[in-house]
Amino acid sequence: MSAAAGRWLPLAAVTLLAGAFAFLNRGEVAAVHVGVATFYRAPLTLVVFIAFLFGMLSMLALSLHQDLRTRRLLRRHGLLDTPARTPPAPTPPQHSPYRYDEPDPAD
């Protein structure tokens, strides 16, 4: 198996499973109670997708603080290297045949 197939195979499997779930549950509806409002006849596929998305975003928001704190601690103890920022090498000026401020040597 090539490296590209190893990277795209899990994504293709998840996409195929999501498509199969949507196909097998087409026409299914659910009632969603959201605090002060109730949505009747909400498509089940949409409800599951929004719940998945909300779960991913809440996990990101809840774990971001801990991740930044851990990285700061590792950098303080020298266990996480910070990339060195080197300025780009200057390029030497090149003569252009289209410059107007220099007289043409052929004249």
**Model confidence pLDDT, tens digit, residues 58-89:** 999 999 999 999 999 988 888 887 766 777 77
pTM over 0.85: no
How far apart, in whole angstroms, are the C-alpha atoms of residue 99 and residue 97?
6
| Domain-embedded: residue 19 | yes
Q: How many structural domains are present in the chain?
A: 1
| CA end-to-end span of the chain | 66
Domain of residue 56, residue span: 10-76
| Domain-embedded: residue 72 | yes
